Chain A
Amino acid sequence: MKLLTHNLLSSHVRGVGPRGLPLRLQATEVRINNVEFNPDFVARMIPKVEWEVLLEAADHLRLIEVPKGPIQGYEQDETFLRKMHHVLLEVEVLEGTLQCPESGRMFPISRGIPNMLLSSEETET
């Protein structure tokens, strides 16, 4: 699971407020991938980023060199974009958990795929 995805998720546990809450990220296994840098794509993702969520997650993962927020003229700033590219798209959590801050409910991340099923039943084919 990439940090960009984590950034977009919110808790859907019953009883949690209407907009959901960001999930607390803990990781036991992280992998850094080499992803092709596409400045245009990164620039488009920047407006969607919830910065506090991102910074907290990056903190939990002990990442360094994470920009604190969008800077003026970021679309052309390659250094900035490369850092964001790294944080959002190259860091992958392979094993870990996501926790709903209000209910405490934990969701596991296994083989890079977060399991956010609320009920324990699955539909198998």
Chain B
Amino acid sequence: LQFTSVEYILGKVFFTTCSDLNMLKKLKSAERLFLLIKKQFPFNVPSVSKGKIFSEVQRLINDDPESWLNVISIWKNLLELDAKKENLSQRDANPQKIKLGKNDTIIAEKLKTEQMQETEETRECQLEKQIEETLEQGDSLTKREKFQEEFQNDVAKAVDTHNENNLTFRVSCRCSGAIAKTFTAQEIGRIVGIALMKQFGWKADLRNPNLEIFIHLSDIYSVVGIPVFRVPLASRAYIRTTGLRSTIAWAMASVAEIKAGMFVLDPMCGFGTILLEAAKEWPDVYYVAADVSTSQLLGASDNLKAAGLKDKIELLKVSVIELPLPSESVDVIISDIPFGKKFKLGKDIRSILQELESPVAFGTIELSCCLLSEAHHRRLKDGEGRSIPLNSKGGHTDELGVAKCLIPEEKNGHRMLDKMPPFGSLVPMECYKVSLGKTDAFIYKYKKSHSSGL
């Protein structure tokens, strides 16, 4: 994917690209992809009356109808190309690749609920994915207008020709920050809807509109866009039942730096989402998924079959605190540690980490990575001063020693890292905060080193 003029803002990535839809469908860490219509500075809420803000919102639409129409045209263009591709691929065995116009096609990508705070510079582009793109088009369109019902590959229905005046639409509005205190999302949505109807003559259809308009008003920006794909990118064709959000699963696998020839274990795999994402991206790796629950393992087995990954991922029924693995046999341990009401965690988070410490091999490549909730995160931080009791087995070759307490230095951006004490011989490397919708979580990355503890 060739992205230019990339810009990150809090949960959204804006970028410019010339890639076609198929390539864009492959974006793994993004939730949804939008075409940007407008991006501007936030509304100044406190100092201005409600009525004034209403008119400001209306101006979003009325000030610049051209840009709206342009974006809609591009959107239709994209759909058409996609529809053509689908029809072609259904007719003959070799689908032809249709390239988008040579002009700058810029697409806005909106990450619905993903936030990454980096402690290091320069992670790969794929991880962050906060890109802004504004759509601009040089030529005018002369193609016949066709709409596509579904954007999924197996279904491609051609809809009757519509011209722009017969568009049906729906407005989805999200408000955060100061503006959310003055307005509800519905109010803003209504204003926008009415303005759109007046300006372009479109009709509102809440149930099954042709076009969905997304608006996000926050303290940092006001953004308007339309989704490129009907179905969010996060719903993967190859996963039948998801546990963890697939975007986060992919991100974790990415952070873990999985390389060919490694042995990767997920000791609390659930439905296997993390390893599924990992196996799709890094296939030359030996994966083992383990869980204590039969029903979860059967779900995972289902997922594996559906994804065609039965040969890549082995299943084991085993408890994470009693892993039948010799010391230092695993290259990477990656897991979504259960939390919340859905699952019970038999043992404390710390004893889990203790257990994982032994099988992980030494060296620079080997590391483990896990997703922890706020509560776990706090417990890991608080436990700094106390010593970790040796585990009940007592038979490990690796001594655990005392967790050292790091005196945190509150540098900007490095805050997270400093507050994470080393865990026995596991040294914390990175920590990312991610949003899972209603709750937040953290991705911790540890590496095993020779120095501490022993």
The chain A residues found within 8 Å of chain B, CB to CB, are 1-2, 4-5, 8-12, 14, 16-20, 23, 33, 35-36, 38, 40-41, 44-45, 48, 89, 111-119, 122-125
Contact = CB atoms under 8 A, between A and B. Distances in A.
B397 A19 contact: yes
B293 A5 contact: no
Interface of B: 260-261, 263, 284, 286, 288, 292-297, 301, 311, 314-319, 322-327, 329, 342-344, 346, 393, 395-397
A40 B292 contact: no
A89 B311 contact: yes
Interface class of chain B by DSSP: loop
Nearest to B299: A125
A41 B284 CA distance: 6
Q: Which 9 A-B pairs have the closest CB atoms?
A: A44-B261, A12-B324, A115-B317, A116-B318, A41-B284, A18-B395, A10-B326, A35-B311, A5-B314
A36 B310 CA distance: 12
B260 A12 contact: no
Given A14-B393, A18-B396, A38-B284, A8 B292 contact: no
Contacts of B260: 40-41, 44
Contacts of A23: 324
B289 to A, nearest CB: 10
A36 B315 contact: no
Contacts of B301: 111, 113
Scoring A8, A14, A44, A119 by chain B CB atoms within 10 A of each residue's CB, the highest score goes to: A8
B293 A124 contact: yes
A114 B316 contact: yes
A34 to B, nearest CB: 9
Nearest to A43: B261
B199 to A, nearest CB: 51
Contact of B286 (A4, A112, A122, A125): A4
B207 to A, nearest CB: 34
Nearest to A1: B314
23 contacts: A1-B316, A4-B286, A5-B288, A8-B288, A10-B324, A10-B326, A12-B324, A12-B325, A18-B397, A19-B397, A44-B261, A45-B286, A48-B263, A114-B317, A114-B318, A116-B316, A116-B317, A116-B318, A116-B319, A117-B292, A122-B294, A123-B343, A125-B296
A117 B291 CA distance: 10
B293 A122 contact: yes
Given A113-B317, A124-B293, A11 B324 contact: yes
B314 to A, nearest CB: 5
A39 to B, nearest CB: 10
A113 B342 contact: no
B317 A117 contact: yes
A118 B314 contact: no
Scoring A1, A11, A38, A113 by chain B CB atoms within 10 A of each residue's CB, the highest score goes to: A113
A67 B294 CA distance: 35
Nearest to B342: A125
Nearest to A100: B324
Nearest to A47: B261
Scoring B261, B288, B301 by chain A CB atoms within 10 A of each residue's CB, the highest score goes to: B261
A89 B288 CA distance: 13
B257 to A, nearest CB: 16
Nearest to A40: B284
Nearest to B265: A8
A125 B316 contact: no
B263 A117 contact: no
B314 A2 contact: yes
A17 B284 CA distance: 33
Contacts of B263: 8, 48
B341 to A, nearest CB: 11
A125 B343 contact: yes
A12 B323 contact: yes
A119 to B, nearest CB: 8
A109 to B, nearest CB: 10
A41 B396 CA distance: 30
A4 to B, nearest CB: 7
A23 B342 CA distance: 34
Nearest to A109: B317
B399 to A, nearest CB: 12
Contacts of B317: 113-117
Nearest to A41: B284
A110 B316 CA distance: 10
Nearest to A112: B315
